[in-house]
Chains A and B, each alone.
Chain A
Amino acid sequence: NAGVTQTPKFRVLKTGQSMTLLCAQDMNHEYMYWYRQDPGMGLRLIHYSVGEGTTAKGEVPDGYNVSRLKKQNFLLGLESAAPSQTSVYFCASSTGAGGGKSMNEQFFGPGTRLTVL
């Protein structure tokens, strides 16, 4: 199993450009999440999904959109990038109820380092 994978690993954008970050998981998890990590602020939830075709806003959703057309994929889009969106982005997934001893544990991808100039 590859677990949680993220594409791309690094990206540099100019202000106003758009891009999509792809997250894929092969664990058949119901829940998926996008976080951003900034120094001294831990992880902050951007958007999340409780199942295929559903998405919801997290703590810091402004400037981002998401889609979950397939259970295994969760896409994060930046429509018009801003320097404040320079960050490391992590995708995570977790199983729902009945997930056994892994229930409630989040599995993380390796991250995408995004710089907006």
Chain B
Amino acid sequence: AQSVTQLGSHVSVSEGALVLLRCNYSSSVPPYLFWYVQYPNQGLQLLLKYTTGATLVKGINGFEAEFKKSETSFHLTKPSAHMSDAAEYFCAVMNTGGFKTIFGAGTRLFVKA
């Protein structure tokens, strides 16, 4: 069975600091991996995804994530946090060839001025 673990339900960074949100997954087959962002009172929207090919994927708003198969990780990073990055972030996994997506519990990012 697939699962997703996000380390840290809350992360707080200063504006301009590095953002690192951790995600580890469990999957018996090669996975597709996703990061979604949810702003207050809105639905989720896709930040980035890994399906095949290059393991470092770039998304919107300066975010990127690296698929590391040996570590079963897909951590999300951004070099310099902006106040507008404050939101909840969800890591998710899908079986290749499937369509159902398993979501992590979410990490709420706070950005301090």
Majority SS of interface residues in chain B? strand
A42 to B104, CA, bound (A): 6
- B46-97: which residues lie under 8 A (CB-CB) from chain A? 46, 49, 51, 90, 94
- A35-94: which residues lie under 8 A (CB-CB) from chain B? 35, 40-45, 48, 50, 58, 90, 92, 94
- By the criterion CB–CB under 8 Å, are B99 and A96 in contact? yes
Count how many chain B residues have C-beta atoms less than 8 Å from C-beta atoms of the other chain: 22
- By the criterion CB–CB under 8 Å, are A108 and B99 in contact? no
- By the criterion CB–CB under 8 Å, are B90 and A94 in contact? no
Q: Is A110 an interface residue (CB 8 A)?
A: yes
Inter-chain contacts of B99 with A (CB < 8 A): 31, 50, 94, 96, 104
Inter-chain contacts of B32 with A (CB < 8 A): 104
Q: Which of B4, B49, B104 contacts A104 (CB 8 A)?
A: B49
Count how many chain A residues have C-beta atoms less than 8 Å from C-beta atoms of the other chain: 23
Q: Is A4 an interface residue (CB 8 A)?
A: yes
- By the criterion CB–CB under 8 Å, are A90 and B43 in contact? yes
Given contacts A45-B100, A48-B100, A50-B99, contact A40 B43 (CB under 8 A): no
Inter-chain contacts of A41 with B (CB < 8 A): 105
Q: Which of A31, A40, A105 contacts B49 (CB 8 A)?
A: A105
Residues of A within 8 A of B (CB): 4, 31, 35, 40-45, 48, 50, 58, 90, 92, 94, 96, 104-106, 108-111
